[in-house]
């Protein structure tokens, strides 16, 4: 068995190394026949077991053509990052160690690493010192957890125990969101019984920022329990809600302020970019991702709550066999919805330690610089328009046709045709979006590997696709 382990890990290492070695040169995503993929990976459930090395070999051979090089330097989709070497190494060990992150008694190492990573993150983001932290699968569950803490706190203030009684007969909660809130926030509201549609939507400005004056009007005179959901980093524009004004207005009404900072929170770790997030430390809870800008492998999210009691009350479970940690040690399950789970703190710790405070700031600032470079390259070409202020790592790009067919519909069609061509071409990958009722390409620079050369190569490929799409649609 030991020999088997060795053979297997050596082979897995070879396969992984080969993959990583080709990451920068392979097509980011290749067109693929899904039927063939199913056939290569599938077949009937085997009656008898297969040699583990064979299993891993076959898996890699069949899966690789259908992998997307989202860990590579020219993947600009969905604001996701790759995997820093230290984080990848720690993640491999996490799998080999197979620790359960639920209880201190199950893995003192996992528990203490989470504690340390939590302290580092709170310091890095400049959050209040007693802020509690949970390690989740991603920002969706981080939003969920934070809003559960919010629900607990605002109803406890109204004399209601929501964990015991649920929402049946509870005082209604006034939930306020910006017009540009991320879709995952609505998923969290739905799961918490707060409803996707019974929210008050505050209008946004031209960059997608919640309008603080409109929030003021919404909250005036409100005496009901209130939760305000703000955003640091709009998925289209990268813009930040005006957090200083929002927290001031909300505080005056005793409302809880939650900030969805899935990628944007990382800007708070950069002295140069922190002004975007001015006032962020005055919120009550925050959500972010490790698998986006910190470049930790999936899955990795974190939730922060300035009121540890509310956080814990919303998440705690107890049973006779669940021996709580003594002397204030950390039980990971007190801060997230799950009990048993992957010891996610190791990879986060490794990423933070390998970068250091200045490394995190450099990573974030470099991506923003590269986003500006990309926007500059593209907009130098006639008929290409950057729709947003490139304040962070996001650029929204729209292509216009020349000549008599020019107009919004032609621009929509051309922009969509360019996106399809870029995706087929494989030099880089970017997705599409609609922004203010216009089709746009969405370019997000979030990867630690991306260089100026990658930006230039990608910009050339995009411009090539613009030229050929214009030709075709002429
Ligand atoms: C990506 C993202 C989310 C969801 O994060 P997951 O990690 O996919 O769960 C939530 N909010 C914003 C602003 C995001 O960019």
220-230 pLDDT, tens digit each: 876 799 999 99
Does the pLDDT of residue 271 top 90, yes or no?
yes
Which residues, 6+ apart, have CB-to-CB distance to 309 below 8 Å? none
pLDDT value of residue 365: 98
pLDDT value of residue 11: 96
Determine whether 447 is exposed, middle or buried from the number of CB atoms within 10 Å of its CB (0-12, 13-18, 19+): buried
Structure tokens at 125: 């983001």
Does the pLDDT of residue 44 top 90, yes or no?
no
Which residues, 6+ apart, have CB-to-CB distance to 97 below 8 Å? 107, 109, 343, 346
* Residue 260, ligand 1, Cβ within 6 A: yes
Contact 202, 139 (CB under 8 A): no
Determine which residue's CA is closest to atom 5 belonging to ligand 1. Answer: 139
Task: Using the Cα atoms of residue 430, residue 360, residue 99 and residue 260 in order, give the sign of their dihedral.
Answer: negative
What whole-number distance in Å separates Cα of residue 201 and Cα of residue 210? 9
106-123 pLDDT, tens digit each: 999 999 999 999 999 999
pLDDT value of residue 325: 63
Secondary structure of residue 247 in the 3-state scheme = helix
Integer-rounded Cα radius of gyration of the chain: 24
Determine whether 403 is exposed, middle or buried from the number of CB atoms within 10 Å of its CB (0-12, 13-18, 19+): exposed
* Residue 79, ligand 1, Cβ within 6 A: yes
By most ligand atoms within 8 Å of CB, the mutation choice from 134, 262, 290 for ligand 1 is: 262
- Long-range (24+ apart) CB contacts under 8 A made by 324-328 are 325/103, 325/104, 325/105, 325/111
303-359 pLDDT, tens digit each: 999 999 999 999 987 766 666 666 678 999 999 999 999 999 999 999 999 999 999
- The closest of 356, 360, 353 to 446, measured between CA atoms, is 360
Q: Where are the alpha helices (DSSP H) in 105-207?
A: 108-125, 139-157, 162-165, 183-191
Q: What percent of the chain has pLDDT over 70?
A: 97
Does the pLDDT of residue 369 top 90, yes or no?
yes
Helices and strands in the chain, H and E counts: 14, 11
By most ligand atoms within 8 Å of CB, the mutation choice from 182, 210, 298, 431 for ligand 1 is: 182
Whole-model pTM: value is 0.96
pLDDT value of residue 323: 63
* Residue 145, ligand 1, Cβ within 6 A: no
For 297, which DSSP code? P
Determine whether 459 is exposed, middle or buried from the number of CB atoms within 10 Å of its CB (0-12, 13-18, 19+): buried
* Residue 184, ligand 1, Cβ within 6 A: yes
> β-strand 285-289 against 256-260: which pairing, if any?
parallel
Q: 10 CA distance to ligand 1 centroid (A)?
A: 35
């Amino acid at each position: 068995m030991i020999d088997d382990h060795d053979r297997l890990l050596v082979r897995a290492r070879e396969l992984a190394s080969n993959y990583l070695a080709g990451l920068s040169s392979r097509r980011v995503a290749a067109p693929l026949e899904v039927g063939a993929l199913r056939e290569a990976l599938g077949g009937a459930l085997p009656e008898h077991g297969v040699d583990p090395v064979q299993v891993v070999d076959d898996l890699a051979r069949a899966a690789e053509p259908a992998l997307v090089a989202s860990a590579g330097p020219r993947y600009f989709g969905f604001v996701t990052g790759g995997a820093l070497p230290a984080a990848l190494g720690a993640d491999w060990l996490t799998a080999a160690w197979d620790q359960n992150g639920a209880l201190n008694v199950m893995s003192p190492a996992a528990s203490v690493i989470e504690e340390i990573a939590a302290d580092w993150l709170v310091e890095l983001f400049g959050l209040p010192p007693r802020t509690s932290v949970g390690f989740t699968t991603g920002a969706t569950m981080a939003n969920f957890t934070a809003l559960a803490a919010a629900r607990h706190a605002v109803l406890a203030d109204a004399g209601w125990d929501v964990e015991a009684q649920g929402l049946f007969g509870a005082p209604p909660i006034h939930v306020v969101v910006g017009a540009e809130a991320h879709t995952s926030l609505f998923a969290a509201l739905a799961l918490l019984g707060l409803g996707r549609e019974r929210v008050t939507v505050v209008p946004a400005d031209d960059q997608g920022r919640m309008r603080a004056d409109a929030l003021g009007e919404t909250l005036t005179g409100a005496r009901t329990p209130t939760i305000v959901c703000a955003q640091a980093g709009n998925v289209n524009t990268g813009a930040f809600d005006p957090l200083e004004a929002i927290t001031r207005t909300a505080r005056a009404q005793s409302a809880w302020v939650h900030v969805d900072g899935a990628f944007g929170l990382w800007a708070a770790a950069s002295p140069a970019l922190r002004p975007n997030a001015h006032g962020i430390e005055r919120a009550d809870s925050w959500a972010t991702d490790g698998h986006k800008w910190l470049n930790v492998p999936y899955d990795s999210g974190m939730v922060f709550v300035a009121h540890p009691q509310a956080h814990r009350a919303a998440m705690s479970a107890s049973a006779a066999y669940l021996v709580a940690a003594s002397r204030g040690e950390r039980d990971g399950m007190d801060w997230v919805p799950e009990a048993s789970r992957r010891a996610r703190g190791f990879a986060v710790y490794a990423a933070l330690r390998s970068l250091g405070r200045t490394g995190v700031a450099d990573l974030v600032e470099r991506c923003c610089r590269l986003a500006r470079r990309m926007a500059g390259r593209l907009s130098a070409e006639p008929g290409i328009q950057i729709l947003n202020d490139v304040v962070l790592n996001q650029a929204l790009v729209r292509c216009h046709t020349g000549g008599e067919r020019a107009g919004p519909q032609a621009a929509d069609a051309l922009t969509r045709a360019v996106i399809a061509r870029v995706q087929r071409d494989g030099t880089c990958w970017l997705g599409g979006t609609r922004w203010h009722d216009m089709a746009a390409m969405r370019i997000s620079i979030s990867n630690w590997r991306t260089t100026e050369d990658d930006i230039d190569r990608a910009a050339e490929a995009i411009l090539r696709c613009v030229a050929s799409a214009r030709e075709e649609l002429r």
